[in-house]
Chains A and B, each alone.
Chain A
């Protein structure tokens, strides 16, 4: 058994809670949130776009925490946490990017723009994808975990840059958290018309969406940690089998 019965029980409950939360959130998005005045129903993409982007950033922060803890304690569990969190963060960031692109077509009349935010998100995606290449290139467990920990800490710079880019650079991308008052220079020139949160109902829907994605992240994280422990157990057994077979010869 790779995980404790308590872990499995919590995981089972969390999986179901996440599924129910997703269904409820979809209901809130489509039946509770008001229709945006200028864009219409397509604005409802925004709730999943922002929710997944936010949770993606949180996932990378938790990966950073795992990296720091591994460098401090040298315990495998922190490396596993970082690995699991980066993988899930990439899924959420991909979702946010795709959703943003689909929203961008009717909003900006193009699927993609090389604006500062979008360029930095692409850099972040590629940087975190390279994390797996780095892990795959190092055979020694301790060395791999140490290098990966340093990498995941440095990689978080891309997330910080993507977050602040719309606040300090001229960008077509709307500023949602912090509102128009804190937005980029583009706001003064009419580039920030859509702030995303025109009513309290919209704000509550966004909060529900973000909480649901956080639950989904937690459930996936536990599933991924369980998977990694299973993978480690299989690798240990493979080493034992190899050692015994070599002992015979």
Chain B
């Protein structure tokens, strides 16, 4: 009997279920990579803006102090 046919006959349900698990893992990995990348961009942008905000406030404060003195 043809070995390919033998494999098909004796292939278990578990083999069929798991035959494309590599793609499943790849799919979830890439999706989570996109999610994490977006979260990182949000965090980085927020951190940079907070730094800018503090810097601007500091400049304004220093300017007010100079003009007072």
Hey, which bits of chain A sit against chain B, CB under 8 A?
A: 35, 39-42, 44-45, 48-49, 52, 91, 94-95, 98-99, 102-103, 105-106, 220, 223-224, 226-227, 230-231, 233-234, 237-238, 240-241, 244-245
Main secondary structure of the interface of B (DSSP, over half): helix
Given contacts A42-B27, A244-B63, 12 further A-B contacts (CB under 8 A): A39-B20, A40-B20, A41-B20, A41-B24, A42-B24, A44-B24, A48-B31, A95-B34, A106-B20, A234-B53, A241-B56, A244-B60
How near does chain B come to A28, taking the closest CB pair, in angstroms?
14
Q: State the CA gap A91–B2 with chains docked (Å).
A: 48
Contact A102 B53 (CB under 8 A): no
Q: How many A-B residue pairs have CB under 8 A?
A: 88
Contact B34 A237 (CB under 8 A): no
Contact B60 A240 (CB under 8 A): yes
22 A–B contact pairs at CB < 8 A? A40-B16, A40-B20, A41-B20, A41-B24, A45-B27, A48-B31, A91-B34, A91-B35, A95-B34, A95-B35, A98-B30, A99-B31, A102-B27, A105-B23, A106-B19, A106-B20, A220-B42, A224-B42, A230-B49, A231-B45, A233-B53, A237-B57
